[in-house]
Amino acid sequence: MDANATTPLLPEVFEAMRPFWIEHFGNASSIHQQGQHARAAVDHARESVAELLHCRSSEIVFTSGGTESDNLALFGILQPFIASGEPAHLITTSSEHHAVLHAAEALRDRGVEVTFLGCTPQGLIEPEALRAALRPNTKLVSIMLANNETGVIQPVAELAAIAHEHGALFHTDAVQAAGKLPLDLSKSGELKNVDLLSISGHKMYAPQGTGILFCCRKVRLAPLFFGGSHERQRRPGTENVPGIVALGRASELATSWLTTNAGDPHLDSEMWVSNAPTNSPAHLAALRDRLETGLLNSVEDAGVNGAGPPRVCNTTNIYFDHVEAEALVIALDLKGLSVSGGSACQSGATEPSHVLTAMGLSPARASASVRFSLSRLTTAEEIDRALDIVPAAVARLRTLSPTWRQPSEALILPRPKTPDALVR
């Protein structure tokens, strides 16, 4: 249950890309038949991605993944201002993925003014906070669509409209939203004000090392690399034909999965599981809810981080107070269940998650938080197994915790030594 880290390659996606490793290994820039076959496959994949996003195929740039797409968006817009010496301001948030956060810091090192917006305790970015941060020289706003740790969905349509009102471009990291939420970038679509949007292949059942940047045709993007004229000069380099074909097929599957009958919204969560069509967004959300409710009912001192706002259908982030998430991740791994902890290893030290601390969680609670992220292949049986093993693992770890069951004692600070005590 760690699909936000990476998803399995779907068999249909593997089958689509396989011939391009073996029989049809042409370079899409070659004029001979092998090359033309590869070119046609790349063009077809571009159309499939454009259909998923409701945009033009010419607005799709294939990249090596979400990190590159985010960097291309931020540097592609701001690098020309750095080069010309014109003051430029970027607004992003403290709860972005490091692909945006660290790119923003690198831009700040190069002279771009950067504002990092905070979020509410539920993990939401408030439109008014964005409005207040905009300046006459704000060139770009970058706010993610769905958070990778909590699944919280930002009001991107509203945020992008505000950015446009002030003449700034808008980028969104949609790595954790693509294939989970409908994304409509057309003139009449919800995301019509989004100028740049990043996607990673390996979060939507395509291979690792593949990605997409949507770049609205009106936006001039400076390339990160220099070389050939591939991807309309926006991303030079021989195309990864098998990877692009896989992205195209994964997009087709996502388009059809997202439009699978959503079921009856009046049914309760348990009913959804049995009634929603299997392998639909509604079914996945019901499985997630069953896991979440089951865990909260069976484990005390536990709660959901980011509960309240809309969330993507596959993610829940739960704190289990008095447990080190790292220990829980290892204990569950030994039982065959993969999850992620609310902390990240930075320069050899385990730091509480920057996303959870930005939401105001104490370092202790952030370090006691675990992310469960389901995939389209997760079954009800797997949820039931998780409901067996997680509470047992939490209970076992709590018996080892110095703060469990004596929370009031743990909070009592040692009495300061009196001068008398010091003399004796």
* By CB under 6 A, residue 315 contacts ligand PLP: no
H/E element, 58 = none
Using the Cα atoms of residue 392, residue 354, residue 286 and residue 201 in order, give the sign of their dihedral. negative
Q: How is 244-306 classified by DSSP, letter by letter?
A: HHHHHHHHHHHHHHHTS----TTS-HHHHHHHSPSSSHHHHHHHHHHHHHHHHHHSSSEEETT
Helix, strand, coil abundance in the chain, percent, nearest 5: 45, 15, 40
* By CB under 6 A, residue 324 contacts ligand PLP: no
Instruction: In angstroms, give the least distance from the CB of 395 to ligand PLP.
Output: 31
* By CB under 6 A, residue 155 contacts ligand PLP: no
Only segment of 101-109, 173-181, 294-302, 372-380 that touches ligand PLP (CB under 6 A): 173-181
Q: What is the distance between the alpha carbons of residues 228 and 136, in angstroms, rounded to a whole number? A: 36
Instruction: In angstroms, give the least distance from the CB of 369 to ligand PLP.
Output: 16
* By CB under 6 A, residue 97 contacts ligand PLP: yes
Closest CB to ligand PLP belongs to which residue? 66
Only segment of 62-70, 82-90, 259-267, 399-407 that touches ligand PLP (CB under 6 A): 62-70
Kindly tell me which residue out of 112, 124, 144, 273 binds ligand PLP, with binding defined by CB under 6 A: 144
Instruction: In angstroms, give the least distance from the CB of 268 to ligand PLP.
Output: 31
| Both tokens assigned to 396 | 């076992």
Kindly tell me which residue out of 13, 62, 66, 245 binds ligand PLP, with binding defined by CB under 6 A: 66
Q: What is the distance between the alpha carbons of residues 257 and 250, in angstroms, rounded to a whole number? A: 10
Closer Cβ to ligand PLP, 138 or 200, answer by number: 200
Assess whether 216 carries a catalytic annotation: no
Query: Across the strands, what pairs with 43?
Result: none
Kindly tell me which residue out of 154, 200, 251, 375 binds ligand PLP, with binding defined by CB under 6 A: 200
Closer Cβ to ligand PLP, 26 or 242, answer by number: 242
Closer Cβ to ligand PLP, 60 or 99, answer by number: 99
Instruction: In angstroms, give the least distance from the CB of 185 to ligand PLP.
Output: 18
* By CB under 6 A, residue 138 contacts ligand PLP: no
Closer Cβ to ligand PLP, 148 or 240, answer by number: 148
Instruction: In angstroms, give the least distance from the CB of 153 to ligand PLP.
Output: 12
3-state secondary structure of 308: coil
Binding mask 98-137 toward ligand PLP (x if CB under 6 A, else -) reads -x--------------------------------------
Kindly tell me which residue out of 65, 155, 242, 243 binds ligand PLP, with binding defined by CB under 6 A: 65
Give the contacts of 144 (CB within 8 A, at least 6 positions apart): 93, 95, 96, 97, 100, 154, 172, 173, 174, 175, 176
Q: What is the distance between the alpha carbons of residues 342 and 423, in angstroms, rounded to a whole number? A: 46
Instruction: In angstroms, give the least distance from the CB of 86 to ligand PLP.
Output: 28
| 282 burial via Cβ count (<10 Å: 0-12, 13-18, 19+) | buried
CA gyration radius for the chain? 23
CB-CB contact of 337 with 2 (8 Å): no
Q: What is the distance between the alpha carbons of residues 158 and 290, in angstroms, rounded to a whole number? A: 31
Number of residues that bind ligand PLP (CB under 6 A): 14
Options 55, 119, 215, 345, the catalytic residue: 345
Q: What is the distance between the alpha carbons of residues 239 and 29, in angstroms, rounded to a whole number? A: 9
Instruction: In angstroms, give the least distance from the CB of 62 to ligand PLP.
Output: 13
**Where do the H-state alpha helices sit in 85-207?**
98-109, 127-133, 156-165
Only segment of 61-69, 82-90, 217-225, 276-284 that touches ligand PLP (CB under 6 A): 61-69
Only segment of 59-67, 128-136, 234-242, 369-377 that touches ligand PLP (CB under 6 A): 59-67
Cβ atoms within 10 Å of 419's Cβ, excluding its own: 6
CB-CB contact of 212 with 49 (8 Å): yes
Closer Cβ to ligand PLP, 99 or 168, answer by number: 99
Upper half-sphere CA count for residue 289 (Cβ side, 13 Å): 17
* By CB under 6 A, residue 95 contacts ligand PLP: no
Kindly tell me which residue out of 155, 211, 281, 352 binds ligand PLP, with binding defined by CB under 6 A: 211
> What's the farthest any 2 CA atoms get from each other in the chain?
93
Q: Which of residues 225-284 bind ligand PLP (CB under 6 A)?
A: none
Q: Which residues are catalytic?
A: 345
Binding site residues, ligand PLP, CB under 6 A:
65-67, 70, 97, 99, 144, 148, 173, 175-176, 200, 202, 211
